[in-house]
Amino acid sequence: MSAASEPPPRSVSRRGLLGFAGAGAALTAAGFVGGRATAEASEASQAPSAEGAAGAYPFYGEHQPGIVTPAQDRLHFAAFDLTTTAREDLVALLTVWTAAAARMTAGQLVGDEATAYDSPPDDTGEAIGLPPSRLTITFGFGPSLFRDAQGRDRFGLAARQPKALARLPHFPADNLDPARSDGDLCVQACADDPQVAVHAVRNLSRLAFGTAALRWSQLGFGRTSSTSTAQATPRNLFGFKDGTANLKAEDSAALTEHLWVGAQDDPAAGWLAGGSYLVARRIAMTIETWDRTSLREQETLVGRDRREGAPLSGGTEFSEPDFALTGREGKPLMALNSHVRLAHPSQNDGVQMLRRGYNYTDGNDALGRLDAGLFFIAYVRDPRTHYIPMQTRMSRQDGLMEYLQHRASALFAVPPGASEGGHIGQALFA
């Protein structure tokens, strides 16, 4: 389903209370899927929250939600490592996660509120009474799910590992923290309310207890992209519009060409057809230095003007840059080391990506400098053609790199959407 035909969010309140086997029995999928109807919980009588802010996207569909879905305002991203060695535990986890994700995106609690008074509640509770807030939950599989660091087949899946799913290479100037990089599984939770996004990751993490453990996580605020032509372009922490020339949900031909994995892309990994690849990079921005840089220099490095986001070669925000145009001194108006020039499809064999990143701030250092930046997320059809060459070139030549540090990195294969009654990644295990 293209985003243009994606059903609009429904307005509901977070209160339906279909049954859910508690955390202890969480991984017995049947206990979850067959859940008991227990509509008598106290929250069920709460008044629905305000309409309008209450949009709900369906979880099931051809593609996973949270990719071409109009980017929400908040992010909670998490990577998990499996602690089990049993394939059936992995399948049970994906089954339980799928059902829980469908419930939470619909604005429901994950479990049965009518649990024994002396047991911990099935749902952690902090989203009770909150609307769905356009929550989407998107799951991905890391290379280490297929083979461990020694190349051993962990779950009998190695033969089906996509060729493009390998740890990203070390790029020039990378300064990565391994503890914040990679992971067997990932969960991207996006919503307009941070509490709803955090609730989603927290409950999925809780359901994984005994099967998978949180490896790293990242909060994001302020989307740094538009994924629909209906959205206004937001700004990143450098103060520039970000997302202008992004792939947009309405351009279904471009999505087919650059975003979705095709059925013939990798015959051994046919299970990924209709899915995509998710690149995650935690990029620290030295904003104090940036803030002491002239506007002229800032705009030259980006290649666009700060106010309108128009290319420096002229026009308005959505005008195509003219890389041949030169100024009075004979220099190109779009500098050779400008970010937009180096990232433009014309410099990258025509490839495009769907960017879906968020701003982040995580405190400050002893000198009072903010630990802030961009949690870069991009979805691509094939990272070998659509990300790695561009990143290599940008790491070497992009003038913005003087103000950036890539601190974490991960790549995940994002399976297609699940159908009702099935689970995420089901075709991988068939």
Ligand X SMILES: C=CC1=C(C)c2cc3[nH]c(cc4nc(cc5[nH]c(cc1n2)c(C)c5CCC(=O)O)C(CCC(=O)O)=C4C)c(C)c3C=C
As measured in angstroms, the least distance from the Cβ of 322 to ligand X is 12
Cβ closest to ligand X, residue 70 vs residue 107: 70
As measured in angstroms, the least distance from the Cβ of 249 to ligand X is 15
Integer CA distances (angstroms), 47 to 14, 128, 134, 161, in order: 10, 11, 19, 47
Closest CA to 413 of 269, 214, 227, 258: 269
Q: Is 258 in the site for ligand X (CB under 6 A)?
A: no
Burial, 273: exposed, middle or buried (Cβ in 10 Å; 0-12, 13-18, 19+)? Answer: middle
Tokens of 24: 């202890």
Integer CA distances (angstroms), 39 to 22, 48, 108, 111, in order: 17, 15, 11, 11
Q: For the beta carbon of residue 293, count every other beta carbon within 10 angstroms.
A: 14
Q: Is 283 in the site for ligand X (CB under 6 A)?
A: yes
Stretch of 11-19, 46-54, 266-274, 301-309 contacting ligand X, by CB under 6 A: 301-309
Stretch of 67-75, 187-195, 287-295, 368-376 contacting ligand X, by CB under 6 A: 368-376
Strand partners, 56: 10
As measured in angstroms, the least distance from the Cβ of 281 to ligand X is 6
Q: Is 242 in the site for ligand X (CB under 6 A)?
A: yes
As measured in angstroms, the least distance from the Cβ of 179 to ligand X is 21
Closest CA to 17 of 112, 97, 100, 105: 112
Cβ closest to ligand X, residue 134 vs residue 304: 304
Contacts of 181 (CB under 8 A, 6+ apart): 216, 408, 409, 410
Stretch of 48-56, 116-124, 268-276, 281-289 contacting ligand X, by CB under 6 A: 281-289
The sign of the CA dihedral 222, 225, 228, 230 is: positive
Q: List the x/- string, 128-167, binding to ligand X by CB under 6 A.
A: ----------------------------------------
Among 69, 98, 236, 300, binds ligand X (CB under 6 A): 236
Closest CA to 231 of 211, 249, 251: 249
As measured in angstroms, the least distance from the Cβ of 353 to ligand X is 6
Distance CA 222, CA 349 (A): 31
Q: Is 391 in the site for ligand X (CB under 6 A)?
A: yes
Among 15, 241, 248, 381, binds ligand X (CB under 6 A): 241
Tokens of 389: 């060459």
Q: Is 404 in the site for ligand X (CB under 6 A)?
A: yes
Burial, 295: exposed, middle or buried (Cβ in 10 Å; 0-12, 13-18, 19+)? Answer: exposed
Distance CA 430, CA 423 (A): 11
Cβ closest to ligand X, residue 81 vs residue 299: 299
How far the first Cα of the chain sits from its last, in Å, is 23
Tokens of 210: 């005994």
360, 372 in Cβ contact below 8 A?
yes
As measured in angstroms, the least distance from the Cβ of 355 to ligand X is 6
As measured in angstroms, the least distance from the Cβ of 67 to ligand X is 16
Cβ closest to ligand X, residue 335 vs residue 374: 374
Q: Is 17 in the site for ligand X (CB under 6 A)?
A: no
Count of residues interacting with ligand X (CB under 6 A): 28
As measured in angstroms, the least distance from the Cβ of 27 to ligand X is 37
**φ and ψ at 79, to 5 degrees?**
-115, 140
Among 32, 155, 376, 379, binds ligand X (CB under 6 A): 376
Q: Is 394 in the site for ligand X (CB under 6 A)?
A: yes
Q: Is 13 in the site for ligand X (CB under 6 A)?
A: no
Sites of contact with ligand X (CB under 6 A): 236, 238, 240-246, 281, 283, 285, 302, 304, 309, 339-340, 343-345, 353, 373-374, 376, 390-391, 394, 404
